[in-house]
Amino acid sequence: MAIFGGKESNVFEAIDRHLEVVHKTVKTFEKLIEEYLNGNLGEAKKLEEEVTKLESEADKLRRTIELMLYEGAFLPASRGDYVRLSELIDQVADAAESAAHTLILAKPMVPRELKEEIMALVEEAVKTYEKLMEAVKALNEDVDKALELAKETEDMEENADRVEYRLKAMVFDSESITTYAKLIWNQAITKIGDIADRAEDASDQVMLMAIKRRG
């Protein structure tokens, strides 16, 4: 059963829309990476433009949520928590956009032997965000479930960190990748990992809010 109603329910509906748009952003980024790794630069460029549009849409929704909060949804003591949560969710889309721009602008050579590992990192980052979505949605229904899902988000981010570290080691150990490409891939990999990192940051906020509510 939902904990809140009225203006608060409207905020949760807006947060759900925000979550979905950010999800579209990271899923479009995932497609971009797949196309880039397969040598389809033209399609990857189109997807970069779509990522940018979606990130802009997510940013507008974040501002809408903040306006709703400042207009009186929730008690004053709770409004800052929801503003912070929406900002952290939005940073996931920012990270995807930044990674997309880095890759498309620099156009590093694709290391064939690392294609699977690069896709594995992107998939781990997307899964981490998807677990965050579950945690945020649980806030309005079951704070204990929200805490559990927030912890699972942290665990998934740690998995993504391990993949990121392994991938960077493979990049720098490779003899077939130029120094320039190594530097660009290191930057791009870091930014891909930022998607999971920002999702984990938001899960910390979910955890804090759930603990406050549980008392």
b/e per residue, 48-70, with b = 16+ CB within 10 A? bebbbebbebbbebbeebbebbe
What's the CATH number where 111 sits? 1.20.58.220
- Say yes or no to pLDDT of 209 above 50: yes
Query: What digits encode the pLDDT tens for the residues 191-205?
Result: 999 999 999 999 999
Owning domain of residue 144? 7-214
b/e per residue, 13-28, with b = 16+ CB within 10 A? ebbeebbebbbbbbbb
Q: What pLDDT, on a 0 to 100 scale, did the predictor assign at position 21? A: 98
pLDDT band, very low/low/confident/very high, at 1 (cuts 50, 70, 90): very low
Question: In angstroms, how far is CA 99 from the centroid of its own chain?
Answer: 11
46 falls within a domain: yes
Mean pLDDT across the chain, nearest whole number? 92
15 falls within a domain: yes
Element at 163 (helix H, strand E):
helix 143-173
Using CA atoms, how far apart are residues 23 and 54, in angstroms rounded to an integer?
Answer: 9
Q: What pLDDT, on a 0 to 100 scale, did the predictor assign at position 73? A: 59
Location of structure tokens 């965000």:
129
Give just the sign of the alpha carbon dihedral 78, 81, 83, 89.
Answer: negative
37 falls within a domain: yes
* Measured CA distances, 165 to 32, 161, 168, 212 (Å): 22, 6, 5, 34
1 falls within a domain: no
27 falls within a domain: yes
Q: Confirm if 22 and 95 have CB atoms less than 8 A apart.
A: no
Structural domains in the chain (count) = 1
2 falls within a domain: no
Q: What pLDDT, on a 0 to 100 scale, did the predictor assign at position 2? A: 45
User: What is the widest separation between alpha-carbon atoms in the chain?
Assistant: 61
Q: What pLDDT, on a 0 to 100 scale, did the predictor assign at position 11? A: 82
Query: What digits encode the pLDDT tens for the residues 147-171?
Result: 999 999 999 999 999 999 999 999 9
- Say yes or no to pLDDT of 215 above 80: no
SS3 call for 122: helix
91 falls within a domain: yes
- Say yes or no to pLDDT of 55 above 70: yes
Query: What digits encode the pLDDT tens for the residues 117-152?
Result: 999 999 999 999 999 999 999 988 899 999 999 999
Highest mean pLDDT among 41-50, 69-78, 171-180: 41-50
Out of 17-21, 22-26, 67-71, 205-209, least confident range: 67-71
Could you tell me which of 100, 91, 92 has the C-alpha nearest to residue 47?
A: 100
Using CA atoms, how far apart are residues 173 and 90, in angstroms rounded to an integer?
Answer: 35
Q: Percent of the chain, pLDDT > 70?
A: 93
Q: Percent of the chain, pLDDT > 90?
A: 78
Q: What pLDDT, on a 0 to 100 scale, did the predictor assign at position 74? A: 62
34 falls within a domain: yes
Using CA atoms, how far apart are residues 165 and 98, in angstroms rounded to an integer?
Answer: 19
Q: Pick the residue with more confidence: 162 or 12? A: 162
Could you tell me which of 101, 94, 115 has the C-alpha nearest to residue 202?
A: 94
Q: What pLDDT, on a 0 to 100 scale, did the predictor assign at position 76? A: 60
